[in-house]
Structure 1
Amino acid sequence: MRKRTRLTITLPNELLKRVDTLVDGSIIRNRSHAVEHLLGEALTQSVSQAVILAGGKPAKRRSLLSLVQGKHLLQITLDQLRKYDITDCIICTDPDLIAELQKRFGDGSNLGMQITYVPEVEPQGTAGALRNCTKYLRPAPFLVMHGDVLTSINLQEFIEFHKNEQKKATIGVKPRQAERSFGQVFLQGNSIIQFLDRGADQGISIVNTGLYVLDPSVLDLIPKQKTPVNLETDVFPKLAKEGELSAFIFQGLWYDITSPHLLEEASRRWLQ
Structure 2
Amino acid sequence: MSFENEIQRITVIGDNSIISCMHLFNEYFLPTLLVTDKNGVFLGTLTDGDIRRAFLQGIRISDPIYQAMQKNAVVGYTNESPRSRFARMKSGKIRHLPILDSTGHLAGLEIEQAFLPVQTASTSAVIMCGGLGTRMGCLTKNCPKPMLPVGGKPMLERILENLMRNGISKFYFAVNYLHEIIEKHFGDGSQWGVEIQYLREQQRLGTGGALSLIPEQPKSPIIVMNGDVLTDVNFRHMLSFHNYNRAFATMGIAEFTFQNPYGVVNYSENKLMGFEEKPVNSWFINSGCYIIEPDLLQFVPKDTFIDMPTLIQQAQHKNKDILVYPICETWMDVGRQGDYAEAQSVQLYGEDNE
Q: For this structure pair, what is the TM-score category when the shorter chain's length is used for normalisation?
A: 0.7 to 0.9
Change (3 A) 1:212 1:37: farther
Change (3 A) 1:216 1:257: same
- Output the CA distance in 2 between the equivalents of 1:208 and 1:148: 13
Question: Deviation at 1:119?
Answer: 0.7
Question: Deviation at 1:128?
Answer: 1.2
Change (3 A) 1:263 1:37: farther
- Out of 154, 167, 170, the residue aligned to residue 247 of structure 2 is 167
- Output the CA distance in 2 between the equivalents of 1:137 and 1:110: 26
- 2:158 matches 1:76: yes
Question: Deviation at 1:258?
Answer: 2.4
Equivalent in the alignment of 2:321: 244
Q: For 1:89-137, what per-residue CA distance to the aligned partner results, in whole angstroms no more than 9, with x for missing partners?
A: 100011632x22232222111111001111112111222111112x244
Change (3 A) 1:19 1:113: same
Change (3 A) 1:214 1:104: same
- Out of 315, 335, 347, the residue aligned to residue 258 of structure 1 is 335
- Output the CA distance in 2 between the equivalents of 1:157 and 1:126: 23
Percent identity between the two aligned chains? 24
- Output the CA distance in 2 between the equivalents of 1:100 and 1:112: 20
Larger Rg: 2
Change (3 A) 1:270 1:118: same
- 2:222 matches 1:123: no
CA RMSD of aligned residues (A): 2.9
Letter in 2 for 1:116: Q
- Output the CA distance in 2 between the equivalents of 1:163 and 1:37: 15
The equivalences for 1:61-210 within 5 A come to: 62-94=144-176, 96-97=178-179, 99-133=180-214, 135-177=215-257, 204-210=282-288
Letter in 2 for 1:176: F
Q: Secondary structure at the match of 2:146?
A: helix
Change (3 A) 1:19 1:231: same
Range moving further from structure 2, 49-58 or 27-36: 27-36
Residues 120 and 167 of structure 2 are in contact (CA less than 8 Å); yes or no, is this contact kept in structure 1? no
Q: For 1:199-220, what per-residue CA distance to the aligned partner results, in whole angstroms no more than 9, with x for missing partners?
A: xxxx632100100000011111
- Output the CA distance in 1 between the equivalents of 2:334 and 2:117: 38
Equivalent in the alignment of 2:264: none
- 2:309 matches 1:229: no
Count of matched residue pairs: 228
Equivalent in the alignment of 2:271: none
Gaps of 5+ in 1: 1-17, 180-202
Q: Using structure 2 for the length normalisation, give the TM-score.
A: 0.58
- Output the CA distance in 2 between the equivalents of 1:67 and 1:173: 25
Q: Secondary structure at the match of 2:286?
A: strand
Question: Deviation at 1:173?
Answer: 0.2
- 2:109 matches 1:33: no
Residues 127 and 174 of structure 2 are in contact (CA less than 8 Å); yes or no, is this contact kept in structure 1? yes
